[in-house]
A and B are shown apart, each in its own frame.
Chain A
Amino acid sequence: MIISNIIEIFPVLAKGINVTITVLIASAIFGYLMAFIAGLCRLSNNIILRGVTTFYVEIFRGTSLIVQLFWLFYALPILFGINLGNEFWAGSLAIGLNYGAYMSEVVRSSILSVAKGQSEAATALNMSRFQRMRLVIFPQAVRMMLPEFGNYLIQMLKATSLVSLISMHDILYHGDLLRYSNIAMGGSVYFYVLVFFFILALPLIFLTRKMEKFSKKGVAN
């Protein structure tokens, strides 16, 4: 019975895979971009730049993603007359901005944790501030960021399930439809949705483990 269910259910859920993955990719690009911009800005000497980014990071870390999603979807168009186009942009923007704020802390702390001697050595070699960052600090910091970035990618995948609440047709949405249309199946359809999300998450889990190994390779302590 379970097998026949799977054959019946999986093609239906697979219709949503497109939307889930597109939202994931869009929010990941957006999130990593925001992470680097905000993370670097928070280290800047410019007090205004630092203030603005701190404000952004604290706002997005201090409230919940679902509230931000609804706010961008329902409230933003009213307040500023900005129409984000469609649900897609509201969804990816909310997820990207939210996780970008979290990941900016990863960027910041990784850069700060590069040993001080490294930047002193770069200064001794008469490198400019930009060269120092680009050639010495940044390559070392990025390795440290990778495992956490992988973790957050899994978190973002989980977060994409929220876009079904703003009526995007992702995996969960098709699961909902199936529950409405097929009463006999009832709630068990959500188990298959969970399995589906897990299958999508598996490559990311292995990727994260690989990055963990990579970031430890050839580093003292």
Chain B
Amino acid sequence: MKKWSWDTFFDAFPMVVQGLGITAGLTVACFLFALIFGFFWTFMQRIPIKSVSWLIRWIMEFIRSTPPLVQLFFIYYAFPSVPVIGMTLSPFTCAILGLGIHFSTYIGEVYRSGIDGIDEGQWEAAKALNFSTRKKWSTIILPQAIPPTIPMLGNYLIIMFKEIPLASTIGVVGILQLAKNYGAQHFNYLEPLTIVALLFLVLSYPSAILIGKLEKKMNRRFDKKEPSGSKPIPEGKGA
């Protein structure tokens, strides 16, 4: 049994904090990827051919109910051997792809709930005004569907941030990997791992409070009790 040592804490702190840039950068990159790719799922689901939308729903279900860790491994180890498009990707790119695709399925659902929340009259108005499909989506539907979902998207940003250390398993050197490296060098995991936990807490807790405030504000603005009539956001999705 060993006592807590502040010396080790302050010794390890600068080293672990170095990884914060990578961790934060990866979070932002993954999130942007998921935001864009989410539209892909939303629109694929809306294809009016029943078998196609059924297939897309099950693909989404598959991605959502299997571990992101295994998905990361799959992309990292199997992607180079895929014919034609296969190439060796850096761990960072793999993490963006793997976690990005995983969370894009959740974000696609968020978009869908936003679109479902739009009043029937809006669709009819677009039709009555003889808008083209593109114009209908870009000027009527999406500008109304997306803003109310912003708090939900923010929640997913926080959830995703907490899943980012999974990328350390394929060699992205974020804060968790640096802490483990320090622990292996000094045979001491206690302080570095505690630092990692503290960093996550310090970053995610205030953001969660901010998002909660934003949610209240948005709900007032859009005059709804629940964003877009969907079920409340399931937290802790991922893992």
Q: Which residues of A come within 8 Å of B, CB atoms?
A: 58-59, 61-68, 70-71, 74-75, 78-81, 98-99, 102, 105, 109, 148, 151-152, 154-162, 165, 172, 175-176, 179, 186-188, 190-191, 193-194, 197-198, 201, 204-205
CB distance from A4 to the nearest CB of B (A): 17
| Cross-chain contact B76 with A187 (CB below 8 angstroms) | yes
- Complex Cα distance A31/B139, Å? 46
Chain B 196-239: CB-based contact to A (< 8 A → 1; otherwise 0):
11001100110010000000000000000000000010111111
| Cross-chain contact A74 with B193 (CB below 8 angstroms) | yes
CB distance from A214 to the nearest CB of B (A): 15
A sample of 10 inter-chain contacts (CB < 8 A) reads A63-B162, A64-B163, A67-B200, A74-B193, A105-B235, A152-B236, A155-B238, A186-B81, A197-B70, A205-B61
| Cross-chain contact B236 with A201 (CB below 8 angstroms) | no
B108 close to chain A: CB less than 8 A: no
Q: Tell me which residues across on chain B come within 8 A of A65, comparing CB atoms.
A: 162, 239
CB distance from A173 to the nearest CB of B (A): 11
Q: Which of B35-43, B44-52, B122-130, B183-191 contacts A (4 or more CB under 8 A)?
A: B183-191
Q: Tell me which residues across on chain A come within 8 A of B9, comparing CB atoms.
A: none
In-complex Cβ contact of A62 among B80, B169, B183, B208 (8 A): B208
Q: With contacts A64-B165, A99-B236, A102-B235 known, what are 5 further pairs, Cβ within 8 A?
A: A62-B200, A62-B201, A70-B189, A191-B78, A193-B73
- Complex Cα distance A109/B233, Å? 13
User: A66 with B176: in contact, given A80-B1, A187-B81 (CB under 8 Å)?
Assistant: yes
Q: Tell me which residues across on chain B come within 8 A of A67, comparing CB atoms.
A: 165, 176, 193, 196-197, 200
Q: Which residues of B come within 8 Å of A, CB atoms?
A: 1-2, 4, 61-62, 65-71, 73-74, 76-81, 162-166, 168-169, 176, 180, 183, 188-190, 193-194, 196-197, 200-201, 204-205, 208, 232, 234-239
The residue in chain A whose Cβ has the minimal distance to the Cβ of B207 is: A62
In-complex Cβ contact of B239 among A155, A175, A191 (8 A): A155
- Complex Cα distance A23/B61, Å? 23
- Complex Cα distance A109/B235, Å? 13
Counting chain A CB atoms within 10 Å of each CB, which of B67, B79, B163 scores highest?
B67
The residue in chain A whose Cβ has the minimal distance to the Cβ of B64 is: A154
Q: Tell me which residues across on chain B come within 8 A of A194, comparing CB atoms.
A: 62, 66-67, 70-71, 74
Q: Tell me which residues across on chain A come within 8 A of B165, comparing CB atoms.
A: 64, 66-67
In-complex Cβ contact of A64 among B66, B200, B234 (8 A): B200
CB distance from A144 to the nearest CB of B (A): 11
In-complex Cβ contact of B190 among A79, A102, A188, A193 (8 A): A79
User: A102 with B81: in contact, given A66-B165, A71-B193, A161-B69 (CB under 8 Å)?
Assistant: no
| Cross-chain contact A187 with B73 (CB below 8 angstroms) | yes
| Cross-chain contact B74 with A191 (CB below 8 angstroms) | yes
User: A159 with B205: in contact, given A66-B176, A151-B234, A194-B74 (CB under 8 Å)?
Assistant: no
- Complex Cα distance A162/B165, Å? 12
| Cross-chain contact A179 with B236 (CB below 8 angstroms) | no
CB distance from B77 to the nearest CB of A (A): 3
- Complex Cα distance A142/B132, Å? 48
Q: Tell me which residues across on chain A come within 8 A of B188, comparing CB atoms.
A: 78
CB distance from A106 to the nearest CB of B (A): 9
